[in-house]
Amino acid sequence: MHAKETLFADLMQGRAQQFQVPLYQRTYAWTEKHLKQLWSDILEQARLLGSPGENGSTHFLGSVVLAPSPQNDATFPRWLIVDGQQRLTTLSLALAAIRDHVADTAPVEAQRIGEQYLINKWKSGNDHLRLLPTQADRQQFAAHIRGPRTDLDTDSGVATAYAFFRKKLVEADDPAAPQDVYRIEQAITSRLALVAVTAERGDNVHRIFESLNNTGLKLSQADLLRNYLFMKLQARGEHVYETYWLPLQRSLSNDELEQLMWLQLVLDGDDRVRRQDLYAAQQRHFENTKAGDAEIEAYIKELHRRSAHFRRLLHPEEEPDPGVRAALRRLDAWQAAVTYPALMLLLDRRERGELDSAGTARALAYIESFLVRRMICRVPTNNLNRIFQAVPGQLPLDVPVTEGLHRLLSSENRFWPDDAELREKIRTAPFYQYGRWQQRKLVLQRLEESYGHPEPVDFAAAQLTVEHVMPQSPGDEWLRALDEETDEGETAEELHARFQHTLGNLTLTAVNAELSNHPFERKQGLLRGSHLEMNRRIAATERWGVREILARADELADRAIALWPAPLRGVGRAERNRDWQLAHQVLAALPHGTWTSYGDLAAFLGSGAQAVGNHLANTPGVVNAYRVLTSEGKVSDGFRWAAPQDAGSDDVRARLAADGVRFTATGAADPAQRLTADDLAALLAGTDDDRADGEDTAQDGTAGAPGEETRAERFFRQLAADDSPETVEAVRVLFAHWESLGGWIGHGAGHVTTSAYLMLGGAGGPGRGIWPMTLYPGAGRGGTAEVVFQYMAAREPFTDRALRAELLARLNALDGVDIPEGKLELRPNIRLSLLEKDRNQELLIETLTWFRDRWEGRASS
C-alpha cells in the first residue's frame, strides 16, 4: 500500500486501463452545490494558468483509494475505486462536455480529449470506457461518453452534471470575461491535485477510507492567522493583543475580521490571493521576509488602523462627511462588497491626505456608475471581483487618485457602458429581469430623487415596491390597445412581452394590488395622488402603450446619463455580442422536455424575433438552437442548420422528440412545455433571486401594529378580491393543515404583489428553512400556488433530483394539474381554484405531509 499526490491527467491517460466503481458503491450523487464549487475552483486554476509568471498553488481536490480489480490482467489493468468515484466521474463528465463543446469547430481536439481521458480506443463493450460506473449509472454515463445522447433519463445525476458543464462552458465564452476552453481543460487535468492511495491485494481498503474521511471542526483562516501571529510574537505579545487585537476583535465579527485580513493583502499588492488561501499567503509573506516582532506588530497595528475604514463600509452611518456617507450608503444598499478593495483604497488615500472628501465622493460616484450602468446594460457580474481586486495595483500613478480611478474603470476590457449603450438598453432591455430587487429599486429611487421634489419621499420609511404600469398579466382591454401598435406578423401578446419589463414601464408605488391589473384609466387616479414625481408624470399622459413607454424611457435615459457619469471614452458597441452570448447561455440551460419561441427569446433579450432567427440560422455551434420554434410550436419555414449535422440527425422533429418534446395532434410542440421570456429569465437567475431572500422575504404575517392591516389579512383580502369564497376557504383549510404538520405561514412584504410561503424551519426568511410552495393572489387572473422546484434544488434533501421528480408526480395526480417534467428546474404554477375539489385538497395535503416527512428525515438519511 502506498499513497502519492497525482493529477487527473497522470491517473487517467497513458496505456489502456479502466477504473471500475464497485457494484456496492452508491450511485453518482453530486448536486449542483458540489458542481458549482468545483467549477469555481476550475476557473480559478484556469485563471492562474493564464497569468504570465504566476502559477500559484494547485487545488487539492481530495483522495482516490484504488485497489486491484479481480478482473485485472497484465495487458489491461483494472482498478476498483474504493473512494473518489464522485470526483472521477464528475471530472470525466466535464471533459466530455468540453469535447462536445469544441466538436463543431475543432473536431481533432475533440477526438484528442476523448482518446486521452475518456475511452480506450481499441477496446469494445464496457472495456471501451476508461471509467466504468456502477451498473445503475452505467447506461447514462456511457451515453454521454459514446453518444448519441437520446432517450436519456433526466432524473439521472450523470445527465444533470453533464448539462451543468455544457451550460457553464457556454457562459465561459462571455466576451466580458472570456475563458479559454483549452485552459479550462488543462486546469481540470493538470491543476486539480489528488492523493491516490493504491492498495495491494489483501489490504483493508475500507480502514483507509475511514481514516481519510475522519475530519473535525475546521479553524477559520482568521483563527489560523491569529494563532500564527501571536505564536511568533514574543516579548510584546500581551501589549499588542490588548492595544490593537482585542479592540479589533471586538469591533468586527470573525468573518468580518477574516475579510479585512484578506483586503489588507490585496491592498498591499497581492491581488491574486483567494480568501480561502489567506493564511497560507500571509504566512508565506512573513516567512519570506523573515519577519520578526517589529514587523508582525506593525502588521497588526496597520490592520487595526484599516479596521476603522472597513467599519464605514459595513456601517456607512459612521462616516462623518455627508457626501461620502450618502455614496457609501448607496453602495451598501447595492450589496457591493465586491468593490471593497477600491473603497478601502479611497478611504486610505483620504486619511493619508492624498484625497479630500469631495474627491472621495466623486470617485465613489464613478464606482456606483460603473455598477449601475453595467446592471442596466446586463453586463455579467462574474468578473467584477477581478476588476476591483486589481484596482490597488493598477491605479495610474501619474494623475490624481479620482481621475486615475475614472481612467482605469474606463478601459475597454472593463465594459463600462457609454451613454449610447445605456440609452438603448433603457429603451429595450427587460430591466425587471436583471440584477437583484434592491438594485432595481435603488435605480428607480435615484431617478425619482433626480426630479428634486421640494417634499422628497422618505424612502427609508416608505414601503415602496416596483410596479409595472402596463401590468404583467394584461386584461383584454390592454391587449386590444396594444394590438393597434403591433408590427406585421407580431401579436399583442408578443409586443407586451417585449416591453412589459423595460424601465420605461416601471415605477415605485405603495398602492394596493386590487387595481394593479385594471385599465390605465383606473390607475391614473392612484398615480396622480402619489407623492412621487415620476408617478404624477405618468398620470398626466392620456394613454399608456408602447409609444408612451418609449417616450418615458428616453426621459429616464436623460436623467440616468446625468446621474451616473460616463466612462472617459466609448467602450465600443459590444453589447450586441453580449446579448447573443446571453441567448447562447439560456439556450444551453434549456431543461430536457422544453422548447421556447423566437418571440420569447427576443423578449428575454430585448431584441426582435427576426433578429433572433437570423442569428440562430447563421451561427454554428449554438446549443439547442433547434428548440427555438414559432409561437405556434412549429419549426420555422426559414429554419436551417447553421453547421453540417451528423448523418440522420437533421430531422428537427426527431431531435426534439429525443429531447423529450411532445407533439399535439396538429403536429405542434406541446404548449405546456413552452418556456416564456419570464421562464428563460428564471433559468439564468438560478436559486438566488428575489423571491428567495429579498423583496418578498417571508415573515410571520399575524403580527402588526394596532389598527394596522397584517400581512396575513392583506393576503386574504387580495385573494378574496379575485377568487371565489370557496377557493379562499380552501386556502384557509390548507394553511391550517400545514400548521398542524409543524409548518408555519410566512407572508411577503409586497403591497402590490403579496404572497404566502408554506415554511418549514426557523422563522425569519426562506433562506433559513425550506418551503415547497409560494401562494399568490391572482390580481385579475386567479390565485396561484408556485411550486418552487428551483429553490428546493439548493436545499437538502431536495438537492436529490429524484425526490423533486417524485414531488412532481404527486402534484400531477391532482385533477387539472399537468406540470411537464421540463419545468422541474423552474417554478411552475397551480391554480388555487383547483383546491375547491375535495379530492384535490386531500391529495395536496398528503403530498405536503410527504414533503414534511422527507425534510424531517434529512438528518438521518
Is residue 176 within 8 Å of residue 378, measured between CB atoms?
no
What is the arithmetic mean of pLDDT over 207-234? Answer: 67
What residues are paired with 64 via a beta bridge?
Answer: 196
Whether the Cβ atoms of residue 96 and residue 236 lie closer than 8 Å to each other: no
User: Above 50 in pLDDT, residue 694?
Assistant: no
Residue partners of 554: CB distance under 8 A and separation at least 6: 423, 427
User: Would you state the pLDDT for residue 514?
Assistant: 45
Q: Percent of the chain, pLDDT > 90?
A: 50
Query: What would the pLDDT profile of 279-307 be if each residue is shown by its tens digit?
Result: 888 888 888 888 888 899 999 999 999 99
Over residues 460-484, the mean pLDDT reads 86
Shortest CA distance to 722 belongs to which of 779, 662, 763, 803? 779
Mean per-residue pLDDT, 106-130: 93
Lowest mean pLDDT among 256-270, 680-694, 783-797, 841-855: 680-694
* Section 374-403 average pLDDT: 90
pLDDT digits (tens, 9 = 90+) for 724-746: 999 999 999 999 999 999 999 99
Residue that has been written with the C-alpha cell 423583496 in this structure: 695
- Please state the domain extents for the chain: 2-212, 221-417, 420-563, 575-680, 686-860
Fold classification of 575-680 is: Arc Repressor Mutant, subunit A (1.10.10)
- Residues 197 and 63 sit within 8 Å (Cβ to Cβ): yes
Question: Average pLDDT, stretch 12-27?
Answer: 83
Mind listing the pLDDT tens digit for each residue in 774-795?
Answer: 999 875 668 999 999 988 888 8
Which residues are CB-contacts of 325 (< 8 A; sequence separation ≥ 6)?
316, 317, 319
Enter the C-alpha cell of residue 312.
464605514
Instruction: Indicate if the pLDDT at residue 709 is higher than 90.
Output: no
Using the predicted structure, report yes or no on whether residue 572 has a pLDDT greater than 50. Answer: no
290: left (phi over 0), alpha (psi -120 to 50) or beta: left
| pLDDT tier for residue 152 given thresholds of 50, 70 and 90 | low
Instruction: Report the C-alpha gap between 124 and 116 in whole angstroms.
Output: 16
> Is the model more confident about 67 or about 427?
427
Mean pLDDT over residues 120-129, rounded? 92
Please tell me the predicted confidence (pLDDT) of residue 219: 64
Q: Across 53-57, 223-227, 258-262, which has the greatest mean pLDDT?
A: 258-262
Output the pLDDT for position 812. 96
198, β-bridge pairs: 2, 66
User: Average pLDDT, whole number, for the chain?
Assistant: 86
In this prediction, residue 213 carries a pLDDT of 47
Output the pLDDT for position 821: 87
Contact 574, 609 (CB under 8 A): no
**Is pLDDT above 80 for 262?**
yes
Region 385-398: mean pLDDT is 90
How crowded is residue 148: how many other Cβ atoms within 10 Å of its Cβ?
Answer: 12
pLDDT at 27: 82
